[in-house]
Structure 1
């Protein structure tokens, strides 16, 4: 398996709008075992994204899906950047 944990920063005052974009209408993503979007309680602009995929290739392939491309395009203007980005090798757990 392949895992990612990242902390994204919304433009000031845009976190709720960014969360809404990221949470709307999720269509299936082949190979995705878990995709969690969360507020960072320590940052007014921070969002945590935690993902588990069957493989790194499944994650890479997902970035080409039309609905993922549309979400990225819609969110991009209010993304201020990424504060942290961590790759992991999940071994198992609840729901996996």
Structure 2
């Protein structure tokens, strides 16, 4: 089993693209992290909203991913773009297409 996290970020008006860009920079940095299986950044027809779907080997790997200085810097840059508290759903992922066995 792996750890999953789905986050819905409400953005400041007109700032969803800016937030998505910051989160895509984080995704690029996470390529070096063996605990990160998937980090997907998306938008939908809902304005001023960015969705992130994360899949990790386990929750400690996710928690540790927030420690590097370059990731913390991106988090600080992203905060002003976020309006309110993100909605998050924590998942226990049991398997499926595209997951390592």
Instruction: Output the TM-score relative to the length of structure 1.
Output: 0.89
Give structure 2 stretches of 5+ with no counterpart. none
**Which of 62, 70, 76 matches 1:59?**
62
Between the aligned partners of 2:75 and 2:85, the Cα distance in structure 1 is 14
The aligned length equals 95
1:76 aligns with 2:66: no
> Greater share of helix residues, 1 or 2?
2
Between the aligned partners of 1:60 and 1:83, the Cα distance in structure 2 is 17
Give 1:50 deviation, angstroms. 0.5
Q: Which residue of 2 aligns with 1:17?
A: 18
Give 1:29 deviation, angstroms. 2.4
Paired residue secondary structure (2:9): strand
Instruction: Output the TM-score relative to the length of structure 2.
Output: 0.85
Paired residue secondary structure (2:83): strand
Structure 1 vs Structure 2 CA RMSD: 1.5
> Greater share of strand residues, 1 or 2?
1
Could you list the structure 1 runs, at least 4 aligned residues long, displaced by more than 4 angstroms after superposition. none
CA change 1:82–1:40 in 2 (3 A) is farther
Give 1:83 deviation, angstroms. 4.3
